Every structure is written in structure tokens, then in C-alpha cells.
Structure 1
Amino acid sequence: MEGPVNIFWFRRDLRLDDNVGFYKALQGQHPVLPIFIFDTEILDELPKDDARVTFIHETLQKMRKTLQAEHESSIAMYHGKPLEVFKSVVSEFNVQNVITNHDYEPYATDRDTTVKEFLSEKEIGFYTYKDQVIFEKDEVVKDDGDPYVVYTPYMKTWKAKFEAEEHLKIYYTSQHMKNLVAHSRLPNLSLSDIGFTKSSISIPEYDVTPSTLDAYNETRDIPAKQGTSRLGPHLRFGTVSIRKMMKKAITAKNDTFWEELIWREFFMQILWHFPETVNNAFRKKYDRVSWRNNEAEFEKWKNGMTGYPMVDAGMRQLNETGYMHNRVRMVVASFLCKHLLIDWRWGEAYFAEKLLDYEQASNVGNWQWAAGSGVDAAPYFRIFNPTTQIEKFDPKKKYLHTWIDELDSDSYPDKMVDHKEARERALSTYKKAVNN
């Protein structure tokens, strides 16, 4: 392929339609070469049967087949460090511009800066677009330009700025597909080529049907019911458009669901403004908490063997399926940080390894919320009682029995800590840290 091309770099936007960067690339004056990079900087840290990698690979294969069958094109697949991949690609193709969509996580912004600098040396343009959120970075801030660190005022300003006609515009790519490179045999990769095996865990389809959204307020807190949308992984990897999902929420007139989507953007802008919160408490004094960090207790928590059924059911669900109900996530996170006094970073890292819908901004934000150390956080003296949570949200123990076979038998473990004693220990430890 000797003529000039523009590259579109797929990342967290694994769909062909309503993809802003892809749409912009297709409108350029050169044929578009789509690529995807299996980034070894990320993959090397993951289990070799990671379900998310299987999902990404399968999604890309479907996209390739569509492009091959309908547009005589494809997606070129690469494996390696992005900078090294681009060095190879620009030596093989006459690249004029690289187009992609914004990513906001600290690693991603560093990666993009490095790639952009290299391309600039080669006089190749690098253009990125907003695609995975409605508002980003500093688009929703206070009057003085400072970021919001409390959700409710952020949400109110978000809604005040929002205009459906402008922000829910759909970027239809279908009429521009003729601008793809005519090359249906671009390099492909199997899972084994990148050192992975097919996972036994699959990512479920999302559910934003009117009936689910109608019942969302009543069912979303009940772990025994399928009352949530399961949208998380699909938003994470961009297999759905946030604009279309927002439209569904607004059409359904479901403020709760709409505001859940806004929470996601709140945490994203927090991470963008405060990237140090990946490793450090947003409220600095909470880094003085004297964590016990008992590794044997951490193993019991991970394996769902704490003797507290709501905690154990959640952890077993996570380990078996890569998913945990949101209400239960709050309980297990509070238990780790408060009852066991184990550093929230340990829990955040375990969720990062296991959750199909893992998204760094939300995961860090929610773990710091549970630990009391983050933005808009639960106060440190708010300590979930894992037993009364059962009475409120799973009184018939349907959820518990789904995940704990031995629940009512002698083989179920004894409680590893006494709730009252653990609560008093947490209060004393936290008070010492935050009042110094």
C-alpha cells in the first residue's frame, strides 16, 4: 500500500457506528487504516485467561468480519508497546495522521503523549476526540474554574449544561465507509498469539430495555434480582455509545439511571484533575491510617470465607463470574477497610484484577469512598453492619444461598471478627489518624 493513509486507532471504543474519532477519520482526505494494539504494558499484568481480553478479542474479530464482508477492509492487529508498534507501522505505511479518541487514565495520557511526540518528529499529525463521555476534563467546573469534589453540585451543573440536541448527536459512519483502505487481509492475531487463552467467563449482554429502566429504582438495590443494566463492561470497552445510553435514560425519564451515568463522568473528571489519587488518598490525612494489612485475613476476604454471608456471597460471585452487585460492593469494601483495617489499595487492586467492568476512575473513586478517604466520601464513622444489610436487601437469603452452598451447615466458617469489636477498633484507628 503505497499511497498516503490516515490511521484510526481503536482503543476503548470497540464499535463501528457512533464513534466520534472514527467518524472524523473517515471524513478525512486519505483512506483510513483501522488498527488495534494489544498493549503489552497492560496485558503483562493480567491473568492469562482474563475474560476482558477474551471479550476484546472476540469483539474485534466481529468488527473485522463486518468490515471484510461489507466494506472490503479490515482492522490491523498488533501486539507490543504502542510506541514500538507505531515505529513499525510508519515504516510500513505512508501515514499522514493518526486519529483516536480521548482516554483519561494516567497511564493512557502518558502513553498518548509519548506516541504524539514520536509522530510529531515524523511530521505526522495526532488528533484525538471526545467520545466516551458527554462532558470531560474541565467542561463541568465551578464558576471559579475549580473542579467539583462533591457529586450533587457537579450533577446539577452537568444537567444545567446538558442540551440533548447538541450532546446526543449520533455520528453515523455508514455513509463514509467507502473511505476505508481497500485491504481485507490486514494482520490478524489469535488469543494464543498474544499469550492468552479463552476465558470460561463471558461478559453478559447489557439490558436497558424499557421494562428494566421502569423497575430500576425498585430493583437496583436487591442483589437477588437482575435489576441492573450490566452496562459497565460495555461502557468500559466502548461496545456501546454513551450518547445512545444517555438518550435511553432520558427517554425513560429515569433520573436514577441517568444520574448513575453522571457518577461515572464525575469520577472520570476527578481522576483527570487528581491523577495522584490512584495511589494516594484524596483526603491526605487518611494516608496516616495505621492499616493492619494482615495477609491471612486478606486471603479469607478474597475467597469469601469471612463468616459474614453478605461479604462472602459477594466475593464468591466476583471470583466465579467477574461481577458483583453494586450494593454488595459497598458492603465488602467497607468490611475490608473498616472491619479488617486493610488498605483500600489492596481491595482496589483485587477488583482491578477480577471485575469485568473495571474502570480505574470509578474503582478508585468508590474504594476511596468506602475507606472515607476520597471525594464526597462516606464519613469514617459510617461502618456498614454486614448482618443488617442482609435484613434490608436480602431478607429471604436468596442471594446468599445462590453463592454459598454451605451457608446453613457446620462447614460455613465462623465470623473472623466480632462486628462490635471491629467497629470500635476502626473508629479508634481512624480517629487517631484524622485528628492528629
Structure 2
Amino acid sequence: MKTIVWFRNDLRLHDHPALKKASECGEVLPVFILPDHTSVTATDWWLYESLKFLQQQLLELGTPLTILKGNPSKRLSILALETQADSLFFNGQIDPVSRKQEMDLLESESLSKVDIQRFEPNMLLDPNRLKTGAGQPYKVFGAFWKSLQQQTIPWPLAAPTSLTSWIQVYPGTIPLEQSGLRSPIDWDASLEEAWTPGETASFEQWGTFRDKKLTRYDTNRDFPAINGTSRLSGYLASGNMSIRSLWHAVRRAQEEGIAPQPEPFLRQLAWREFSYYQLFHFPHITERPLRSEFLHFPWRDDPEGLIAWKKGKTGYPLVDAGMRELWETGTIHNRVRMVVASFLIKHLLIDWRIGSEWFRETLVDYDVANNTLGWQWVAGSGFDAAPYFRIFNPTMQSKKFDKNGAYIRRWVPELDALPDSFLHEPHRAPEETLAEAGVVLGDTYPLPIVDHAAARARALEAYALIKGKKEGST
């Protein structure tokens, strides 16, 4: 049988159900269809590097990767017709855009004679499997986590050891160098210093985390100056790594005594699963709040505040450090990620969807499910979210989680010479202290763009306006 395997957000060989099945059925033609957009994002850089690595992997197994661009249904229909393929296999995705593409494929008349098979997405379980006692989707993470722990997670599939293809070079394939995934401006050099995308790198990063950080994960993960997180999110978001393989690898580390208590990290993997689960059952959440009263929230239009937030010039050192880390490395520490999101939403009253879009452009680990649920959690508009009146004090967060200022000094070097006692709120430092440190507020470092107490009061007032409101009320 001649099978086209459509690669998507699953740029790996291990635990790839569509590829595994196709390799067992006959010849395989791997294909990737480039995203049809003009602006280049951080995830495009990761995608480029992942495709380059996948190309080499597939060639070593005996088949090339065909790269196309355009509407997936149309491009795959033409490809199947011209190559006389018998079947088309792909792993599913759960975001609304991808599900629409899948439906177009399945309903395509030009593919009516082609055996089309959709395999499970990169999730621990089928999202229809876990339901409440009333048969409804879970809306609270705690109950979801309890139910998930009672399930048997399927074992990951082994990678094929060889592949054959009836097409060696498809005439319409696009050279990766002409994919448009790399900007003509050399803006991504810092990303290359921080990351190595690809399947092999994902295994290496897991090994480093397992051996050096997993046992102290729960203790260290909240401190941005400590390299205590897994740094696996980019590999999961791109599909360089299978979530099932990671889950079982953690369990294996537990059995071997490497990580006797891995639940804190497994719980984070479960949060990822919960995000996918929510997006599957409530696909509108990328555009609309889950809690309908937030449809009436009085968001502010604050272009200057938004620019200051993006550039890391808010006058709040922890916020600024996080936003600069994001720009330079394409990622941001999880604790700081919550702080900067809270600042945009609750200190500036800027719509969470604007922040979500900036993260889409700048994160190498951008994941529509994780990103959406994260922003809705901070906004308080999700089903299981932080209450809106929980407003992070960025100064207190800074003092608690970056006490000695190592994180701030790394990303906001103009404050490096300030003593620890004033590093977290330079606007309160005496003039002589600022002068000794070479800090000129409003010049070398900005004054706070908003007062915390005033911003908190304004946010609570805005929240009070929507309490009790539901969709359709006025």
C-alpha cells in the first residue's frame, strides 16, 4: 500500500501512530504543509530547525520529506492524485483550525477513493474518555487530575527502523531554505544560543532534567534565577517529544529510585492535558472567555502601556526581566509568566487576548491550548481559574521569588549596582543610592507606569462591574 503521512505538530519518529501504521502497511511518503502566513514568529524558527532535523532522520530511514504550502485539503488532494497514493494517514490535533482542516479532508470528494485515517493526537488519553459522573466534561482541574490518575496511560510506540517510498523527489516540493520560516533579518541568533530543537535534543534535555533537576523540581521551580524547570515545553509544543513517552519516562525514573516523588512534575503534565481537554470540549475559548460575565469586562485601550509591557519598561523590575527574557530567549519562567500576565490584565486592564497574541509571536514553546488556558486562568475568566481579585503584587513576588535579585540583574542589567534592598523597587531608593548605582529614573530605567495600589483598586472596581452579569444581560 502507498501511504501519504501528513506530519503536523508531531515532528518526531517515536510514538507517531500515523507513521508507525503506514510503515507497517507498505511504502510511505512523508509530507509537511507549511503554515500560510506572512509574519515570522519564534515558533517558525523552532519549526524550521525541527523540519531540518526531521528531514535528515527520514533520509537516514530511506525516504525524503516532501514540503508543500497552501490549503492542506487541496494540496493533499493534488498530491494523492499525482502520486496515485492509496491512503492518507495523519495524527489529529484538537485546536479549531486544525479540526476544520481535518473535516475538509474527510469530506473532500477528490479524496473519496483514498483511505483516510486519523490517529490520536499528542495527548495522554482520548479527550472523550474522561467525564464526570453526569457524563459531562470536567471543568475543575482537581477532579480531572484525580480521574486521570486512575487511568492507564497507553505505552508510546517505537519509531520505525526503516522506510521505503515510491516517490523519491516530488516535483512540487519546496526546499526548506525557501519555506519563509526564517526572517531575512538576523533576529533569531539568541534563540539559537538558547535552544536546540529536534527529537534527539528533546531526549537529551529530558535526560539532563531527570538526572539533575527532577528530584528538586517542586522546591526549585518557582525561583526564576534557579535553572530548576524541565525546559521541555518547546519540544512538547512542536511534537518533538511525545507526552506519553515523557509520562512513562517519569514513571520509570520513579521505579528506578531516581525520582521517588514525581507527582509535582506529573501534575504539570496533567495541566497540559487539561488545557488540551478544555480546548477540545470548548473550542471557542481561544476567542471568548469561558465565564460569560467576562464578555462585559471594561477593558482599556492603552497603547503606551502595552508597548512598555512588551519592551520590559514598566518600572517593575520582575515584570521587565520576564518580558526581556521572553524577547531574548523565546521563553519565560513559569512563575514570572503568571506575574507578567497578571500585570497586563489587572494592572493595565488590557484584554488578555492581546497578551495571548504577543506570546504567540514571541514564544518558542507557544501552544494554543496551554497559552489560552494560562491567560484565562490569570484573567479569572476560565472555569477553574484564579479569582479575579487575586492580583499579583509584582514587587512582593519579586522579593519572594528573586530575593537576591539574580534574575533581575541578569535581564535588567542597568539595575545591577543597586543594593538588594532597593533592587525590587528602585523608585523608592534615595537619590544618593541611585546616583551611586548609576541609575537615573525616567532615563536609564523607567519610573513605574502605574501605581500598584491604584491599579489594584481600579481592577477590583472593574471586576465589581461584571459580578453577576451573564451573557445577554445589559
TM-score by length of 1: 0.92
Shift of 1:190: 2.4
Distance 1:295 1:56 in 2: 31
RMSD of aligned alpha carbons? 1.8
1:87 to 68, 72, 77: 77
Match of residue 230 from structure 2: 229
SS in 2 for 1:215: helix
Residue identity over aligned pairs, in percent, reads 35
Asked if the contact 2:312/2:323 (under 8 Å) is kept, the reply is: yes
Is 2:457 the partner of 1:424? yes
Distance 1:240 1:391 in 2: 35
Is 2:12 the partner of 1:11? no
Is 2:77 the partner of 1:106? no
Unaligned 5+ segments in structure 1 are none
SS in 2 for 1:406: helix
Distance 2:49 2:349 in 1: 40
Shift of 1:183: 4.6
Distance 1:108 1:368 in 2: 21
Shift of 1:391: 1.3
Asked if the contact 2:44/2:181 (under 8 Å) is kept, the reply is: no
- Specify the code of the residue in structure 2 equivalent to 1:39: P
Q: Describe how 1:209-224 pairs up with structure 2 within 5 A.
A: 209-224=210-225
Asked if the contact 1:136/1:268 (under 8 Å) is kept, the reply is: no
Aligned residues: 420
Asked if the contact 2:4/2:80 (under 8 Å) is kept, the reply is: no
SS in 2 for 1:27: helix
Distance 2:57 2:339 in 1: 43
Distance 2:133 2:247 in 1: 25
Asked if the contact 2:42/2:361 (under 8 Å) is kept, the reply is: no
Alignment CA distance shift 1:193-1:371 (3 Å)? closer
Alignment CA distance shift 1:121-1:12 (3 Å)? closer
Greater shift after overlay, 414-423 or 180-189? 180-189
Shift of 1:375: 2.0
Match of residue 128 from structure 1: 118
Asked if the contact 2:48/2:181 (under 8 Å) is kept, the reply is: no
Distance 1:434 1:116 in 2: 44
Distance 1:363 1:173 in 2: 29
Match of residue 343 from structure 1: 351
Distance 2:267 2:306 in 1: 33
Is 2:445 the partner of 1:412? yes
- Specify the code of the residue in structure 2 equivalent to 1:100: F
Match of residue 333 from structure 1: 341
Q: Describe how 1:25-424 pairs up with structure 2 within 5 A.
A: 25-28=22-25, 30-40=26-36, 43-44=37-38, 46-47=39-40, 50-69=41-60, 71-118=61-108, 121-161=111-151, 163=152, 167-175=153-161, 177-178=162-163, 180-181=164-165, 183-186=167-170, 187-194=173-180, 196-197=182-183, 199-200=188-189, 201-202=191-192, 203-204=195-196, 206-207=205-206, 208-250=209-251, 251=254, 252=259, 253-407=261-415, 408=418, 409-410=439-440, 411-424=444-457
Asked if the contact 2:331/2:365 (under 8 Å) is kept, the reply is: yes
SS in 2 for 1:332: helix
Greater shift after overlay, 126-135 or 101-110? 126-135
Asked if the contact 1:6/1:97 (under 8 Å) is kept, the reply is: yes
Distance 1:248 1:386 in 2: 36
Distance 1:386 1:91 in 2: 58
Asked if the contact 2:43/2:364 (under 8 Å) is kept, the reply is: yes
Distance 1:116 1:434 in 2: 44
Distance 1:269 1:303 in 2: 33
Shift of 1:412: 1.1
Greater shift after overlay, 116-125 or 308-317? 116-125
SS in 2 for 1:7: strand
Shift of 1:32: 1.4
Distance 2:109 2:249 in 1: 39
CA deviation vs aligned residue, 1:386-405 (integer Å, no higher than 9, x gap): 00001110000000011012
TM-score by length of 2: 0.85
Shift of 1:96: 1.4
Asked if the contact 2:217/2:229 (under 8 Å) is kept, the reply is: yes
Distance 2:58 2:370 in 1: 33
Asked if the contact 2:23/2:160 (under 8 Å) is kept, the reply is: no
Asked if the contact 1:17/1:172 (under 8 Å) is kept, the reply is: yes
Alignment CA distance shift 1:404-1:57 (3 Å)? same
Distance 1:281 1:174 in 2: 42
Distance 2:175 2:8 in 1: 16
